[in-house]
Amino acid sequence: MRATIVGGGIGGLTVANHLIRHGWQVRILERAGTLPTTGTALGMWPPALRALDSIGVGDRIRQVGVPQTAGAILRPDGSTIARLHVPGGAVLVSRPVLLDALVADVSGAVEFGASTDAVPADCDVVIGADGSGSRIRDRIFGPRYRPRPLGMAAWRGWVSGEATSTTETWDTGALFGITPRDGGQTNFFAAVRVEPGTDDGGITFLRSRFGDWHPAVRDVLDRIDDETLLHHDLHHSPALPSYVRGNVALIGDAAHTMAPNLGRGACEAIVDAVTLGRALTESGDVAVALRRYDRARRRRTRMTVRGSAAMARLATTGRATGARDALLGLVTRTG
């Protein structure tokens, strides 16, 4: 059996690992010339770690990543809204390290600098893993299903020195998160409610917006390198009628771009990939396998898309924050 995977990111490399381990012939078409060498930390939750275990990558991530078992939600003055326990634990790992682990056993299948404009026809199945701006999705469903602005922009990066805790600070219209990451560094992320396409202003804007927040935030702001600062508008996907069409299947952001507020985007791409890989390798009929994948993943991921957007609104709301904080504190204290 032959598969062409369009996109050599997290989802594409994960499904390639599964299929190659089960004897499939795989081509991975990646538009970029190389894998990215920069990127911020991603949380690998238990379902994603189990999926990585199934392709022999889980232990590599546990060895290099940073365990996360607890965190806190704070106010801008540093007072605590809620303390969080992470059931089962998660592992924080930077995107380049995760990609390096995923590509190690399938590097010979990756074609960098490849054209991804058309849906390939010379294979048994095509897997669209080409991200939020998916051309494969546009080809099979049209532009009406492109991700839509969330009304927020994000800034992400890392600074030297190891973070001693995991926190997210909430305020009206903005939030700021700080976590550890591999390599003994500190990962940070900020989000602000702005109109799409607003000029970000870089570090100057961040320091003006967050410069009077508690000392941990100010410490990170003082150490940010403008050259490593990433900025982009946030989007989320409308509900697709299906994640499959003919012999084409969509996974990851191509199927369900989501806000980052639940920390699940990369995890869902990994689970998509292994679910699809299992369906394809357990059934001799591609059409049956793709229907099975769609039933298993579309409803679940749509719930996560909606939940992520709701969390973004909750974290940055300016209404009834006292009631929100009290309820969140109660819920986290009682589990």
Same domain, 132 and 171: no
Model pLDDT for residues 266-311, shown as the tens digit of each residue: 999 999 999 999 999 999 899 999 999 999 999 999 999 999 999 9
Q: Do residues 225 and 194 share a domain?
A: yes
Question: Is there a domain that residue 88 lies in?
Answer: no
Within this chain, do residues 112 and 158 fall inside the same structural domain, yes or no?
Answer: no
Judge whether 83 lies within some domain: no
DSSP letter string, 214-271: -HHHHHHHHH--GGG-EEEEEEEPPPPS-SEETTEEE-THHHH---GGGS-HHHHHHH
Identify the domain containing residue 170 by its residue range: 150-234+319-334
Angstrom distance (rounded) from CA 312 to CA 154? 11
Q: Which two tokens stand for residue 98?
A: 């995760």
Position 39 scores a pLDDT of 87
Residue 322 pLDDT more than 90? no
Distance CA 188, CA 203 (A): 13
Strands of the sheet with 230-236, listed across from one edge: 41-44, 80-94, 66-74, 167-171, 174-181, 185-193, 148-160, 230-236
Return the closest-CA partner of residue 21 out of 46, 57, 49: 57
The answer to whether the beta carbons of residues 214 and 232 sit under 8 Å apart is no
If you ran DSSP here, which 8-state letter would residue 306 be given?
Answer: H
Number of domains in the chain: 2
CB 251 within 8 A of CB 243: yes
What integer pLDDT is reported at residue 197 of this predicted model? 78
Over residues 56-101, the pLDDT tens digits come to 999 999 999 999 988 999 999 999 999 988 777 899 999 999 999 9
Residues with Cβ within 8 Å of residue 37, at least 6 apart in sequence: 96
Is 80 part of any domain? no
Instruction: Tell me the per-residue pLDDT of 191-244, one tens digit each, with 9 for 90 and over.
Output: 999 888 777 778 999 999 999 999 999 999 999 988 889 999 999 999 999 999
CATH of the domain at 306: 3.50.50.60
The domain that holds 179 is classified in CATH as 3.30.9.30
86 lies in some domain: no
Residues 108 and 41 in one domain: yes
Which tens digits make up the pLDDT trace of 110-164?
999 998 877 778 899 999 999 999 999 999 999 999 999 999 999 999 999 988 8
User: pLDDT, tens digit, for every residue of 232-266?
Assistant: 999 999 999 999 999 999 999 999 999 999 999 99
Which 3-state string (H, E, C) describes 43-78? EECHHHHHHHHHCCCHHHHHHHCEEEEEEEEECCCC
C-alpha dihedral, 196 to 197 to 203 to 207, nearest 10°? -40
Q: How far, in Å, CA of 44 to CA of 67, rounded? A: 9
- For residue 334, is pLDDT > 70? no
User: Is 305 contained in some domain?
Assistant: yes
124 lies in the same domain as 247:
yes
Residues 129 and 230 in one domain: no
Residue ranges with strand state E in 110-220: 110-112, 125-128, 148-160, 167-171, 174-181, 185-193
Question: What share of the chain in percent tops pLDDT 90?
Answer: 81
Q: Is residue 74 domain-resident?
A: no
